[in-house]
Amino acid sequence: MADFSLQRKRMVEEQIAARGVRDKNVLRAMEKVHRHKFVPADLRGRAYSDSPLPIGAGQTISQPYIVACMIEALAIKPGDKALEIGAGSGYAAAVLAELADEVYAIECISALAEMATWNLQAAGYTNVHMLHADGTKGWSEHAPFDAILVSAGAPGVPESLKTQLAPGGRMVIPIGTSMMYQKLVCVTRQKDGSFAQHDLTDVRFVPLVGEEGWRPDGV
């Protein structure tokens, strides 16, 4: 039987803290969430490796370091309400659920939305609410959000997501003119309602496909 808890500890030390993620709460959450419960059974042995892994339907669970880096930039505080676009396996939503009070997660592929719901339930999370829909429109019934994590690469920041960000709220989103390469960007809504933006790092995400994202044919 593999010692997943030792593998998780190593993942946090060698892949995440060593590369500059400092937020103790994020490191603790990454050490706590059982990533092996969010990957397909035949890939469990590689759950804590330093890479993305396939989760079916042509999609991937992101590399642990990138998840930590994105979530650290969101600067989540207890009491916050978070939204994730692109729930995939449900893993990043679980990490968010360790830090925020409530997490709303949207996934556009129904088989993955079901899998994420199942994985989160099996792992014991009761504060994640899943919706099968086009997440580029956000989830207006539950807005505004203190933190928005976009886990797929977009051609630009969807207007609907900007309007659903609370004053002082943060959004982390991969933005790129190609469907395969992006810059990870942090967008902050100032108290006066204006938006500030800064770049974090270069990334490769699967495309955000939807009304305010890429069209399925890549235009």
Which of the residues 151 through 180 are near ligand SAH (CB under 6 A)? Answer: 151-152
Phi/psi at 50 (nearest 5 deg)? Answer: -85, 55
Structure tokens at 129: 């609410």
Q: Enumerate long-range contacts of 163-171, CB under 8 Å, 24 or more apart.
A: 163/138, 164/83, 164/138, 164/139, 164/140, 165/189, 166/81, 167/191, 167/193, 169/144, 169/145, 170/73, 170/74, 170/75, 170/146, 171/147
Find the shortest distance in angstroms from Cβ 64 to ligand SAH: 10
Of 52, 61, 50, the residue nearest 15 (C-alpha): 50
Query: Whose CB is nearest to ligand SAH?
Result: 86
Catalytic residue among 49, 62, 140, 194: 62
Instruction: Tell me: does residue 107 bind ligand SAH (CB under 6 A).
Output: yes
7, 25, 49, 60: which one binds ligand SAH (CB under 6 A) = 60
Find the shortest distance in angstroms from Cβ 76 to ligand SAH: 15
Concerning whether 62 is annotated as a catalytic residue, the answer is: yes
Find the shortest distance in angstroms from Cβ 179 to ligand SAH: 11
Who's near 192: CB < 8 A, 6+ residues apart? none
Find the shortest distance in angstroms from Cβ 168 to ligand SAH: 24
Active-site amino acid positions: 62
The residues binding ligand SAH (CB under 6 A) are 55, 59-62, 85-89, 91-92, 106-109, 112, 134-136, 151-152, 206, 208-210, 213
